[in-house]
Homo-oligomer: A and B are copies of this chain.
């Protein structure tokens, strides 16, 4: 798929058909994610692919439990219906103090790569700067060592919803020349 089309068409998808994603497709996606830039080319990523129903439920419960009040309209229950969930983690030792950047830049590629393969996905955070509980609970469920940071949670599946194109803020409100 064309880059521009992938970027413009991609939406955050939270409803999925009951249909498996072939392992070969997941490998292609994670293969691609490795090409993300990383600080000092540390390539610090770990990708955990979760298909087990009970684990998906546990992750959804954590996301619901730590959901801030203003985001409660987006319940995390839908995660259980995803064909799979990818948890993107980074190894602190290979991250040069840029765990978050490295994790998000790879996640961004996963979102685009998924869309270009007809898959829907949505970016969810796996940590909170103010609340270490969320990362720690995810670590515990998935057996992630304390030196590895979970950064994002990406539920994925064949889309069972079609969203209207987003209304975007006009570029003139966002762009500044030389100074803010």
Contact = CB atoms under 8 A, between A and B. Distances in A.
The A contact surface, by secondary structure, is mixed
A71 interface: yes
Contacts of A25: none
A155 to B, nearest CB: 13
Given A1-B2, A32-B7, A97 B68 contact: yes
B10 A47 contact: no
A169 to B, nearest CB: 5
Interface residues of A, number: 71
Interface of A: 1-4, 6-8, 10, 12, 27, 30-32, 34-37, 39-41, 43, 45-52, 55, 68, 70-71, 74, 89, 96-98, 100-101, 104-105, 107-109, 111-113, 116, 122-123, 125, 128-130, 142-145, 148, 166, 168-169, 171, 174-180
Contact of A179 (B41, B122, B143): B143
A58 to B, nearest CB: 12
